[in-house]
């Protein structure tokens, strides 16, 4: 269930007629740039809270007031950036649906992908098999928008959640998202690189969606990604495994016996990471999981 929107959103109110005219012009722009009109409607569903049927029928046109998450002038400016500079639509909207959440995003954080949702599903499966894992301390390393930490806190009602990120801007945005879900008493944010800000030991589980794109592949990414999403959250070094190697070597210092180590990867990395975990010697029960496209994208291990 979605929480109520930030009160600032309700200060930006326009008539249904204004939205109707904006949509009409935006669809004309979209056609000119070869963009589907569905992008316009997705944007208005997210920013104005209108549903697909209302947009199709135009039934909202007679409304006196529609609250927007962004001022219409700002929305217009960002829409132009989407058309001309391929600014991701999620940044234009300023938020996106992820699992059962609405997550605020901006160019300081990576846009949460549907694939990352499965990290939470894997934890849910684990605690069904081993209920004691639902307690203790869990950490989200490189939290970005805070989406993983929030989902963890909602799943693990009796656990304490910590989330870290090296980016001050990411921490600020994560705090906004955590506050919107009234979880500031459940989630502790720490600014710093990976484990650096932690003094806590005997951690029950660690999740991370770390940078894993090899440096030389960054320029091959889609323009929306390489030009607008933070390279700090994308660039995994020469082979894409720089930060993952660090997490393999450092996590045993912090994880309790039987503690969970779980990360997301890109294609063709899972077998290598599983071998690195095995060679490190502190892990057992190493498993590889596929995403919904059949790509081996997640590696889970347990601290010996």
Q: pLDDT-based confidence at 162, cuts 50/70/90?
A: very high
Average pLDDT, the chain: 95
Whether 173 and 254 share a structural domain: yes
One domain, residues 153 and 267: yes
Residues 74-113 as b or e (16 or more Cβ within 10 Å = b): ebeebbeebbeebbbbbbbbbbbebbebbbbbbebbbbbe
**Structural element, H or E, at residue 276:** helix 270-280
pLDDT at 249 over 80: yes
8 has pLDDT over 60: no
Note whether 280 and 247 are within 8 A (CB).
no
Instruction: Give pLDDT, residue 86.
Output: 95
Residue 269 pLDDT > 70, yes or no?
A: yes
- The answer to whether the beta carbons of residues 262 and 125 sit under 8 Å apart is no
Which domain, by its residues, includes 289? 114-303
| 265 & 202 share domain | yes
Q: Which DSSP letter does residue 14 get?
A: E
- Model confidence pLDDT, tens digit, residues 145-154: 999 999 999 9
Q: What is the band of 216 on the pLDDT scale with cuts at 50, 70, 90?
A: very high
Domain boundary among 25, 57, 90: 90
Q: Which residue, 90, 105, 131, sits at the end of a domain?
A: 90
pLDDT at 10 over 90: no
Q: What is the pTM of this model?
A: 0.91
Q: pLDDT digit string (tens) for 41-84?
A: 999 999 999 999 999 999 999 999 999 999 999 999 999 999 99
pLDDT of residue 193: 97
User: What gap in Å lies between CA 212 and CA 159, rounded to an integer?
Assistant: 28
> Domain ends where: 44, 75, 90?
90
């Amino acid at each position: 269930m979605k929480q109520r929107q930030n009160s600032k959103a309700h200060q930006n109110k326009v008539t249904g007629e204004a939205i109707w005219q904006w949509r009409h012009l935006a669809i004309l722009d979209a056609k000119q740039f070869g963009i589907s009109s569905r992008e316009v409607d997705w944007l208005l569903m997210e920013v104005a809270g209108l549903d697909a049927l209302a947009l199709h029928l135009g039934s909202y046109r007679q409304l006196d007031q529609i609250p927007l998450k962004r001022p219409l002038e700002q929305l217009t400016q960002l829409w132009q950036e989407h058309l001309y500079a391929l600014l991701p639509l999620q940044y234009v909207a300023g938020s996106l649906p992820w699992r059962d959440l609405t997550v605020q995003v901006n160019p300081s954080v990576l846009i949460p992908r549907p694939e990352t949702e499965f990290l939470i599903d894997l934890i849910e499966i684990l605690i069904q098999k081993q209920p004691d894992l639902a307690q203790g301390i869990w950490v989200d390393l490189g939290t970005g928008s805070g989406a993983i930490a929030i989902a963890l806190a909602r799943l693990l009602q009796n656990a304490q959640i910590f989330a870290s990120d090296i980016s001050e801007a990411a921490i600020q945005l994560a705090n906004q998202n955590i506050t919107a879900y009234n979880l500031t008493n459940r989630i502790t944010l720490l600014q710093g690189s990976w484990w650096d800000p932690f003094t806590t030991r005997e951690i029950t589980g660690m999740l991370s969606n770390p940078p894993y794109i090899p440096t030389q592949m960054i320029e091959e990414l889609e323009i929306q990604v390489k030009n607008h999403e933070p390279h700090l959250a994308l660039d995994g070094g020469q082979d894409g495994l720089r930060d993952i190697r660090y997490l393999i070597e450092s996590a045993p210092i912090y994880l309790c016996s039987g503690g969970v180590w779980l990360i997301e990867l890109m294609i063709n990395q899972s077998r290598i990471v599983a071998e690195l975990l095995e060679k490190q010697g502190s892990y057992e029960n190493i498993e590889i999981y596929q995403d919904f496209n059949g790509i081996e994208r997640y590696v889970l291990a347990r601290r010996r």
